[in-house]
């Protein structure tokens, strides 16, 4: 989010940007509690801050949901769902959506917004998904994988591959590498996903600051036999 400052940042914007910058350098288990602590502080103001720091973020999310062609036959999992900025739009189009996040305060904000008990909320760590194989037809994630090491990202992709149904779709919204070194390059996304078994990997720029990463979970050789 740090690239999205305007010319006259107020105290709130400066503080949020600083927290986001600190957050991007927190990696590994021993610091994970600090991530939760940061999001616990930010949770009540998260949507407000995101709308100001990233004025086109909701449009980018709509683009992600469109590009994944989420429809009434889909069961969608949203990783690191936070306050539900992706989970809620996805759940409106899907048969059902589930958001998973490790920070209770963020899930609490989502719980306050949701109507009719939809979507489902799970407190958990995306590195070890508490779902059976072949549970979802699509998996989304937005601005959360950055905080994981490369090995952890690959672990998450293997988990996503496991919980996706055959021919399931994966879609990820993230920052463009050109806007900051904290964001992986298109080639890195491509290679991590392909190494985890995904095919048809595509990384497309959306507006000035976003990458939309898409991939399909095709049949493995073992499943074909
Ligand atoms: C920048 S927020 C993004 C939230 C939401 N996806 C959005 O687009 O607004 C990152 C979220 O990822 C969650 N998170 C970070 N690491 C996680 C992990 N290992 N497992 C589950 N959630 C995690 C945080 O609690 C936080 O809610």
Q: Return the pLDDT at 180.
A: 79
Q: Return the pLDDT at 118.
A: 82
pTM of the model: 0.88
Quote the CA–CA distance of 116 and 66 in Å, as a whole number. 23
Classify domain 55-224 at the CATH topology level.
Rossmann fold (3.40.50)
Q: What is the mean pLDDT of residues 183-201?
A: 96
Phi, psi of 101, rounded to the nearest 5 degrees: -155, 150
Angle at 162 between CA 161 and CA 166, to 5 degrees: 70
Q: Return the pLDDT at 116.
A: 64
Question: 144 or 30: whose pLDDT is higher?
Answer: 144
The reply to whether ligand 1 has any atom less than 6 angstroms from the CB of 85 is: yes
Q: Is 32 exposed, middle or buried (0-12, 13-18, 19+ CB in 10 A)?
A: middle
- Using the mean position of ligand 1's atoms as its centre, give its distance from the Cα of residue 221 in Å: 33
Quote the CA–CA distance of 225 and 220 in Å, as a whole number. 9
Spell out the alpha helix ranges (H) of the chain: 11-24, 32-42, 46-53, 57-67, 87-93, 104-113, 150-163, 186-195, 221-224
Q: Is 182 helix (H, G, I), strand (E, B) or coil?
A: coil
pLDDT of 24 higher than 70:
no
Centre a 10 Å sphere on the Cβ of residue 44 and count the other Cβ atoms it contains.
15
Q: Return the pLDDT at 223.
A: 74
The reply to whether ligand 1 has any atom less than 6 angstroms from the CB of 152 is: no
Q: Nearest Cα to 74, choosing from 99, 91, 62?
A: 91
Please, which pLDDT band fits residue 110 given cuts at 50, 70 and 90?
very high
Q: Return the pLDDT at 1.
A: 37
Strand partners, 204: 212
Strand partners, 78: 99, 140
Q: Return the pLDDT at 6.
A: 46
pLDDT of 14 higher than 70:
no
Please, which pLDDT band fits residue 22 given cuts at 50, 70 and 90?
low
Q: What is the mean pLDDT of residues 204-211?
A: 95
The reply to whether ligand 1 has any atom less than 6 angstroms from the CB of 126 is: yes
The model's pLDDT over 138-171, given as tens digits with 9 standing for 90+, comes to 999 999 998 788 999 999 999 999 999 999 999 9
Residues 6+ apart with CB under 8 A from 114: 84, 88, 91, 121
The reply to whether ligand 1 has any atom less than 6 angstroms from the CB of 136 is: no
pLDDT of 2 higher than 50:
no
Question: 39 or 29: whose pLDDT is higher?
Answer: 39
- Using the mean position of ligand 1's atoms as its centre, give its distance from the Cα of residue 146 in Å: 10
Residue nearest to atom 14 of ligand 1 (CA): 80
- Using the mean position of ligand 1's atoms as its centre, give its distance from the Cα of residue 102 in Å: 7
The model's pLDDT over 88-106, given as tens digits with 9 standing for 90+, comes to 999 999 999 999 999 999 9
Locate the domains of the chain by residue range. 55-224
Residues 6+ apart with CB under 8 A from 185: 177
Give me the chain's average pLDDT, please.
Answer: 88
Burial 169-188 (b: 16+ CB within 10 A, else e): bbbbbbbbbeeeebbbebee
Q: Return the pLDDT at 5.
A: 38
The reply to whether ligand 1 has any atom less than 6 angstroms from the CB of 40 is: no
């Amino acid at each position: 989010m740090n690239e999205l400052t305007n010319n006259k940042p107020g105290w709130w914007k400066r503080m949020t940007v600083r927290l986001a910058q600190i957050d991007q350098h927190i990696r590994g288990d021993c610091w994970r509690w600090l991530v939760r602590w940061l999001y616990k502080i930010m949770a009540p103001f998260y949507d407000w801050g995101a709308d100001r720091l990233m004025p086109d973020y909701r449009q980018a999310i709509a683009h992600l949901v469109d590009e994944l062609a989420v429809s009434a036959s889909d069961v969608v999992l949203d990783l690191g769902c936070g306050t539900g900025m992706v989970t809620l739009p996805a759940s409106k189009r899907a048969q059902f959506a589930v958001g998973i996040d490790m920070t209770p305060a963020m899930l609490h904000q989502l719980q306050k917004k949701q109507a009719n008990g939809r979507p489902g909320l799970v407190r958990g760590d995306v590195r070890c998904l508490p779902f059976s194989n072949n549970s979802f037809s699509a998996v989304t994630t937005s601005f959360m994988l950055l905080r994981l090491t490369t090995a952890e990202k690959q672990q998450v992709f293997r988990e996503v591959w496991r919980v996706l149904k055959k021919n399931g779709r994966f879609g990820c919204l993230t920052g463009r590498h050109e806007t900051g070194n904290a964001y992986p390059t298109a080639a890195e996304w491509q290679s991590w996903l392909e190494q985890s078994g995904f095919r048809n990997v595509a990384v497309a720029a959306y507006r000035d600051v976003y990458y939309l990463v898409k991939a399909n979970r095709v049949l493995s050789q073992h499943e074909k036999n």
